[in-house]
Structure 1
Amino acid sequence: MSNVFSKKVIAFLSIVFMLFSINVIGQQQSIISKKEYKNIIVKGFYTFQNEENAQFLDSILTIIRLNRFTIKEDSINSKILYLKGVNNLELKRLKKAEDLFIKSFELAEKTNDVFLKGSIYNSRGVVFSLRNEDYNKVAKYYKKAIESYKKVSNLSQLIDTYYNLTINARKRHKWEESIGYGKNFFKLIVKDGKRVDGVGKMYYYIAHSNFKLKKNEEALKNLKKAEKYTLVNNSELLSLINSLYAKYYESKGEYLAAIKKYKQVNENLKKTIVFNEKEIKESFVHELELESELKENQRLIINNQKLKLIVSTITLILFIILTIFLISLIRKNRNKNRRIKTLNFELKELIADLKTKNDDLVDKKTEIESLLNLNEQALFSRVLKISTYNDAIRKITDDIESNKDASSYLISVNKKLLSLISEEELWQDFKVQFEKIRPDFFNKLKNIAPNLSVNDLKHCTYIVSNLKSKEVAQLINVSPRSVETTRYRIKKKMGLEKEDSLYDLLVAL
Structure 2
Amino acid sequence: MIFKQFRINSFFTLFITLILFCGFAIGQSKKQQNYYSLLDSAQTYLDVNPKISAQFLDSIPNPITSNITGRLAYYYQLKGLLNDKNEEPIKQFQNFALALKHAKLEKDYDIAGMVSVELFYNSYLINKDSTAFKYLEDAKSFYTKTNNVNGLAEVSQMYAYIPFDQGDYAKSNALLLSNLQQYKNIIEDQYYYMYALFMLTSNYAHLDNLNTAHYYFNLLKNLENDNTIASALYKSHIVTINNCFAHIQFKQKAMDSVAFYLDASTKMRQSMNSYDVKEYFKLYADYYGQLGNDVAKNNYLDSLSVFNDQLLQKASNASLELNNALVNTDEALLEVTKKRNTNRIWIAILIGAIIVFGTFIALRYKKIKLKIIEFTKRKDEYQFMQTNHEKLKVKVRGLEDYITELKRELRTISSIDNSSEQKEKTKALYKNIHHQSSTFLAKEENYLELINDVNIEFFTQIKAMHPNLNDSEIIICYYLFLGFKNKEIAAFLNTSTRAVESKRYRISKKIEELDSTLTLIDYLNDTFKDSKISVL
Range class of TM-score, shorter chain: 0.3 to 0.5
TM-score (norm 2): 0.44
> Rg larger in 1 or in 2?
2
TM-score (norm 1): 0.46
Flag the structure with more relative contact order, 1 or 2, with Cα contacts below 8 A and sequence separation at least 6. Answer: 1
